[in-house]
Structure 1
Amino acid sequence: MSERRCLVVFYSRTGNTRRVGVEVARQLGCTVDDLTDVKPRGGMLGFVKGGIDAARKRLTQVAGVGHDPGEFDLVVIGTPVWAGTMAPAVRTYLAERKDRLPEVAFFLTTRSTGVEKTFRHMEEACGKRPKATLDLRERDVRKGDPSEAIGAFVAALSAEPNEGRPAP
């Protein structure tokens, strides 16, 4: 992956998605954009309002965007699952940069369900199929060691397009 330029972009309210994103970036040697939702999302009220905004597919104001995704060959995008979909900060990032995105990959952290639906929403939001996806349970990120799953994800991203895949 050394000759390819990659960017890892993520939003994290509690630090779980950030932990995964930082490790993915470290293993790939990528640049990082750590998104910040300008709306207050702390505490129980912020959690509830964030879930409502996510379920209603609302956009928000985002800070922490330091790089143009069009200057990279691969953008890896991470989000927590909120109300069965992506966080508003990630939805906003994708909506505002859809036309600038090169090849993409997705990762997410979740407490329970919503994995496939969230990946589908991310794909629809950016208009691209991901090269690879990774989903991790929040408890595994907090208390476990997700490095094996992250390593497999990174290996899939580092593979050439036909490497390890059956021919049609």
Structure 2
Amino acid sequence: MSILVAYYSRTEVTKKLAEAIAAETGADIEEIVPKVKYDGKIGFARGGKDAISEKIIDLEPLEYEVSDYDLVYLGVPVWAGKAANPMISYIKQNEGKFNDVKFFVTAGGSGFEGAIEQMEKYVGKAPLKTLGLVTKQVKHDEFNEELASFIE
């Protein structure tokens, strides 16, 4: 089975989880890089505003074609109760190309459900599985059991 892990991470938390999934599954990994930057306090505020409005933004060129993969893991942080808009932009850019998908979402405390529902809406199909972890769990490597269940 061919597997891709595609993720966006502003603070490296979602990246850490994406790398763990790729290591466990032997997947290719694609970092989604927006052309607009969301660094610092101004970037944080812009990100929340863009997420709420579901703004589609330009992304840097991608390395992998999602239609070449049987399964794509999509990973994203929650911004203002929604999936970070670089991920929504990635999904829109690949509309109709996904085979099976799994979603993993990171958040400071809550908002998993809204982000997952939004991603499902844009992908156009239900994920095989979802995983929501709080930032603290990921930073302290307290996610092995959840990850094993998510991957199987």
Q: Quick check: TM above 0.5?
A: yes
Alignment correspondent of 2:80: 83
TM (norm. structure 1) is 0.88
Tell me, in whole angstroms, the C-alpha distance in 2 between the residues paired with 1:69 and 1:10. Answer: 12
Tell me, in whole angstroms, the C-alpha distance in 1 between the residues paired with 2:142 and 2:109. Answer: 18
3-state SS in 1 of match to 2:119:
helix
Tell me, in whole angstroms, the C-alpha distance in 1 between the residues paired with 2:77 and 2:66. Answer: 20
The residue identity in structure 1 corresponding to 2:73 is V
Alignment correspondent of 2:143: 146
TM (norm. structure 2) is 0.97
Write the mapping of 1:106-125 to structure 2, written as runs, cut at 5 A: 106-125=103-122
Tell me, in whole angstroms, the C-alpha distance in 1 between the residues paired with 2:103 and 2:82. Answer: 13
Tell me, in whole angstroms, the C-alpha distance in 2 between the residues paired with 1:79 and 1:56. Answer: 17
The residue identity in structure 2 corresponding to 1:8 is V
Tell me, in whole angstroms, the C-alpha distance in 1 between the residues paired with 2:95 and 2:37. Answer: 25
* Higher gyration radius (CA): 1
Tell me, in whole angstroms, the C-alpha distance in 1 between the residues paired with 2:75 and 2:59. Answer: 14
Tell me, in whole angstroms, the C-alpha distance in 1 between the residues paired with 2:144 and 2:36. Answer: 32
Contact 1:34-1:64 at 8 Å conserved across structures: no
After superposition, the C-alpha distances for 1:32-85 in whole angstroms (9 at most, x for unaligned) are: 001111111110000000010001100111125211000010011000000101
After superposition, the C-alpha distances for 1:78-131 in whole angstroms (9 at most, x for unaligned) are: 000001011111000101102111111100100122111111000001101000
Report the CA distance between 1:145 and its aligned residue. Answer: 2.3
Alignment correspondent of 2:56: 59
Alignment correspondent of 2:9: 12
Q: What do you get for the CA RMSD once the two structures are aligned?
A: 0.9
Structure 2: runs of 5+ lacking an equivalent = none
Asked whether 1:28 is paired with 2:25, we answer yes
Contact 1:33-1:64 at 8 Å conserved across structures: no
Alignment correspondent of 1:98: 95
Give the share of equivalent positions with the same residue, in percent.
29
Contact 2:110-2:134 at 8 Å conserved across structures: no
Query: Which deviates more from structure 2 when the two are superposed, residues 88-97 or residues 146-155?
Result: 146-155
Question: Residues 135 and 64 of structure 1: is their aligned pair in 2 closer, same or farther, counting only changes over 3 Å?
Answer: farther
Tell me, in whole angstroms, the C-alpha distance in 2 between the residues paired with 1:23 and 1:89. Answer: 21
Report the CA distance between 1:144 and its aligned residue. Answer: 3.7
Query: Which deviates more from structure 2 when the two are superposed, residues 17-26 or residues 56-65?
Result: 56-65
> How many correspondences in the alignment?
152
Report the CA distance between 1:146 and its aligned residue. Answer: 1.5
